[in-house]
Amino acid sequence: MADDKSMLEEQIKSQGALVRKLKEEKADADQISEEVKKLLSLKSQLGIDPKPQKVKGNSEKSKENKKPSGEDGPKKFVLKTAKGTRDFAPDQMAIREGVFNKIISCFKRHGAVTIDTPVFELKETLTGKYGEDSKLIYDLADQGGELLSLRYDLTVPFARYLAMNKVSNIKRYHIAKVYRRDNPAMNRGRFREFYQCDFDIAGQYDPMLPDVECIKIVVEILSSLDIGDFVVKVNHRKLLDGVFAACGVPNHKFRPICSAVDKLDKTPWPEVRKEMVEEKGLDPSTADKIWEYVQLSGGTELLGKLLQDESLTSQKRAVEGLEDIKLLLQYCEAYGISNRVSFTMSLARGLDYYTGVIYEAVFTGAQTAVAASSDEEGSVGVGSIAGGGRYDELVGMFDGKGRKVPCVGISVGIERLFSIMEAKAYESGQKVRTTETEVYVIAAQKGMVEERLKLCKALWDADIKTEQSYKKNTKMLTEFQYCEQTGIPVAIIIGQSEIETGIVKLKVMSSREEREVKRCDMLEEIRQVLASESSVESKPSISS
C-alpha cells in the first residue's frame, strides 16, 4: 500500500512541473494562477500535517503554532486555518454538492424529513455519552453564562431533540459538521471539523423493519456513487453479550472486552488478546473462547450453526440477537441486497450506546487509490465508509421520566466519499465546472456597457444563467477564451450595428457557429441551443 506522504510529495512534484511548463509556454494567466493555487494547497497539506501519529485519540499537549511550509516572507500573523480544518475551494464545493445531492435524494426517496440542531450544546448534554472519547470534545471558553461544547456527533443532539420536543416517532436525516480534537490525518480524510451524514428511524415498530431499511439506504447510496465494491457487515450487541457470557466474561467487563473486539478490523488477534488478558484482566482461556466465535462470518448457514450451539443458546441474549439477525437476513433477501450483507461476529462498533443490530459498510476488492490508502494502519483493515446500529436507551437518558424512544440509524462517512470523488475527478482529467453559467454577454466595441447591462437584465429576468465582464471595455478574444475555459456554452455579442438593427449575434461555443438572431427571438433561440447542447454533450459538471 502506498505511503501517503510520498504520494503527496509526488503530486507536488508533478504539479510544480505543470506550473513551470505553463509559465514557459506563457499560458493564460488565469490558468497559471489556478494551477499555482493547487500547488500551494498541496504544499500546505504536507506542511500542516507533518508527522502523522499512530496513537489514536491522543490528546494534544504541545503548543502548535508552526507556520505551514510553503509560506514565506514577512507576515503580520500566521495565515492558516485552525489545525485539522480546511477551506473548500469552488471545484471541491462542486464535487461536494454532487455527493450531497445523490445522498439527499436517496433520503427523500425513502420519505425522510430533515431537522437541524445548534452547533454547540450545553456541556452536560454531551457528558457521559462517549466513554473514553469524551476528551476529544471541544469546549467553549467560559465567558459567563452557560458552559457549552461543540457537538461531537449528530446522534446525541438528535436524542436530546426527541426528548425535549417529546417526539415519539420520526424518520429524519441530518447532514452537518461535527467537531473532534483528534489527531488529524488530513491527507487521509480525517479532520477535526468534518461532515456527518446521519439517517435515523425513531419509533416503537416491529422488529428489523426500520433496521433493514438503514442497510438498504447504505446500499443505494454507495451503489449510486459507483466507487467500488463494498459489503455491509452486520452483528448484534445482544449476540456479542451472549457470546461473552457463554465464554465466561464477567458482566462488568462486557463493555471493555467489546472495545477490544472492536479493534480486530485493524489489529491482529495476538495484540487484541494481550489487551484482553493483560490490560483488562481476562482469563486467557476465556479470551481464546471468544476468538473461536469472533472469527466467524457468513450468512444463514452460520446462523443455523450458531442456533445449534448449546453454550450459546443457553444465553437468552444470544438467542434474541440470533433471532433478530435471522429476520434481518430474511428481509435483506426481500430487498434484494443479500449479496451486499455479511453477518460478521467480530463487528463490535466503538460507541457504548448501541443495544441491538450494528452495521458497518466496508470496501472490498477493487477501488480507487484514495479509498485503498485511506486506512491509517494500512495493513489489516479495509476502509469503513458507513456505520451505525440500534440504540434504544439513549433518548430515555434525556427524558425526566425515562420514557424510551427506540432508534436505529446509520452514519455515512461523507468526508471519505468527498475524497474519493475528488480523486476520481482529478484522475479523469475532466475539468470540474464550478458555475452553471449558460450565457456570456460580450460587447463588440467600446462604450457599450449599459447595453450589456440591459441585455443581462433581460436574460436574468428569463431565468437564464448569465455573466459578463466587470470591465467597462473588453477584448472579444479574451472574452471568448473565458467562455472556453469555464465551459460557458453560449456567447451573445452586441455592437452598435446590432443595436440599430434590433439583433444580437449568438455564438455556440462548442461548434464556433455564429449567427444573427432577432432580439425578440433571442430567449427562445438560446433555450433551444442550451437544450441541444446539454443533450449532445456528456454533462460537463460532476455536480449537475
Binding to a copy of itself (CB under 8 A): which residues in 448-487? 449-450, 453-454, 456-457, 460, 463-467, 470-472
CB neighbour class for 400 (10 Å; exposed up to 12, middle 13-18, buried from 19): exposed
Residue among 7, 18, 27, 115 that touches a copy of itself (CB under 8 A): 115
Query: Nearest CA to 216 among 355, 331, 320?
Result: 331
What is the SS3 assignment for 130? coil
Residue among 203, 248, 256, 298 that touches a copy of itself (CB under 8 A): 203
The residue (of 163 and 341) whose beta carbon lies closer to a copy of itself is 163
Q: Answer yes or no whether residue 132 interacts with a copy of itself by CB under 8 A.
A: no
Residues 487-526 within binding reach of a copy of itself (CB under 8 A): none
Q: Answer yes or no whether residue 125 interacts with a copy of itself by CB under 8 A.
A: yes
CA distance 64 to 229: 40
Q: Answer yes or no whether residue 81 interacts with a copy of itself by CB under 8 A.
A: yes
Residues 258-317 within binding reach of a copy of itself (CB under 8 A): none
Residues 213-232 within binding reach of a copy of itself (CB under 8 A): 213, 216, 220
Residue among 102, 138, 481, 534 that touches a copy of itself (CB under 8 A): 138
Q: Answer yes or no whether residue 429 interacts with a copy of itself by CB under 8 A.
A: no
Residue 255 is which amino acid? Answer: R
Query: Nearest CA to 432 among 80, 159, 89, 62?
Result: 89
CA distance 456 to 469: 11
Q: Answer yes or no whether residue 11 interacts with a copy of itself by CB under 8 A.
A: no
Name the one range near a copy of itself by CB under 8 A: 175-183, 300-308, 351-359, 366-374: 175-183
Cβ neighbours around 258 below 10 Å, total: 19
Name the one range near a copy of itself by CB under 8 A: 6-14, 111-119, 339-347, 520-528: 111-119
The residue (of 33 and 478) whose beta carbon lies closer to a copy of itself is 33
Q: Answer yes or no whether residue 368 interacts with a copy of itself by CB under 8 A.
A: no
**CA distance to 345, 488, 514, per residue, from 444 (Å):** 71, 18, 14
The residue (of 92 and 259) whose beta carbon lies closer to a copy of itself is 92
CA distance 326 to 300: 7
Task: Quote the Cα angle for 325-330-331, to 5°.
Answer: 100
Query: Nearest CA to 172 among 240, 113, 253?
Result: 113
Residues 389-418 within binding reach of a copy of itself (CB under 8 A): 397-398, 400-401
Closest approach of a copy of itself to the CB of residue 269, in Å: 35
Residue among 95, 99, 112, 214 that touches a copy of itself (CB under 8 A): 112
Query: Locate cell 475528488: which residue?
Result: 422
Cβ neighbours around 58 below 10 Å, total: 12
Name the one range near a copy of itself by CB under 8 A: 135-143, 260-268, 272-280, 365-373: 135-143
The residue (of 83 and 253) whose beta carbon lies closer to a copy of itself is 83
What is the SS3 assignment for 389? strand
Q: Answer yes or no whether residue 114 interacts with a copy of itself by CB under 8 A.
A: yes
# residues contacting a copy of itself (CB under 8 A): 113
Closest approach of a copy of itself to the CB of residue 121, in Å: 7
Q: Any long-range contacts for 462-465 (C-beta under 8 Å, 24+ apart)?
A: 462/523, 464/438, 464/439, 464/523, 464/526, 464/527, 464/530, 465/435, 465/436, 465/437, 465/438, 465/439
